[in-house]
Homo-oligomer: A and B are copies of this chain.
Amino acid sequence: MTRRKLETAASRATDPGVSPDTQDRQFVTSLARGLEVLRAFGPGEATLGNQEIAERTGLSKPTISRLTHTLVDLGYLSYSARNGRYQLGPGVLALGYAMIAGLEVRERARPMLEDLAASANVTVAIGERDRLNIVYLDCCRGSQTVALSLNVGSRIPLGSTALGRAILAKLPAGEREYLLRAMRERMPEDYPKIEHGVEQAIRELETQGFCTSFGDWRNDVNAVGVPVASLDGERLFGLICGGPSFTLSTETLMQDLGPRLVEIAGRLSAPRQVTAD
């Protein structure tokens, strides 16, 4: 039982499409496939037909037909007989809420995020890794200019954002390398920048306690980030603070906001550091 969670946690945690040739007797394929179907509904693809799902997932049409049938039956997909297309259904949203409602880190973090967002008029967010993305768990904005009400749940890339870098940098080396490898395979052209950014983030975390992304994700967005471990030490989150580059200078981030983020992260972490690694 030596090779346990580290490997499996990283094993399929990357990308759809190819099912890794694991003879894992513990792995339930149909479940994974069904979830892959749900995952096919991305930002740009609010509605999909069976054909499109089959293409995106690489599964055969009859399989898709059965899976969608099942998912509709359970309320995770809605079917429009009008145009033969599916949409994500209410069941999926209820699950998402249950997830966020049960997250104690979020509860504890929220007042601090609000405080910082309001006092410095920046965007503050907490996120977690999901495969090769970061998912926003919570988000506070300074001035309610344009209220894009909830990007809680939205994804941003892992490699180029301050949030992603903070998390990658804090990850055990093995897992980090696994993820970097997956990114290199998937987007070889972006990889050099990604790798460089992550290496820099590791150094920054060592020296100053927070890492940066100045224009690396969107070139008009600056942000600083810190990692935060859950109380039981099993989950790794990231905390960022950022804004448009013409509002938010790198100096402010480096000298004021970064340190404040570090301080918040300290308060969020367990009172006693039990780093048994």
Binding site for B on A (CB under 8 A): 5, 8-15, 26-35, 38-39, 41-43, 45-47, 65-67, 69-76, 78-83, 87-104, 110, 128-131, 133, 135, 137-138, 148-155, 232-235
Contact = CB atoms under 8 A, between A and B. Distances in A.
18 contacts: A12-B74, A15-B73, A27-B73, A28-B69, A32-B74, A35-B74, A35-B91, A41-B95, A46-B102, A46-B104, A80-B232, A93-B135, A93-B137, A95-B96, A97-B135, A97-B151, A149-B150, A149-B152
Given A39-B95, A74-B35, A154-B101, A82 B232 contact: yes
A90 B31 contact: no
A97 B39 CA distance: 11
B69 A27 contact: yes
B135 A94 contact: yes
B73 A43 contact: no
A204 B95 CA distance: 33
Contacts of A14: 72-75
A95 B97 contact: no
Oligomer: number of copies: 2
A73 to B, nearest CB: 5
B70 A31 contact: yes
Contacts of A90: 99, 128-130, 135, 137
A129 to B, nearest CB: 7
A205 to B, nearest CB: 21
Contacts of A72: 8-9, 14-15
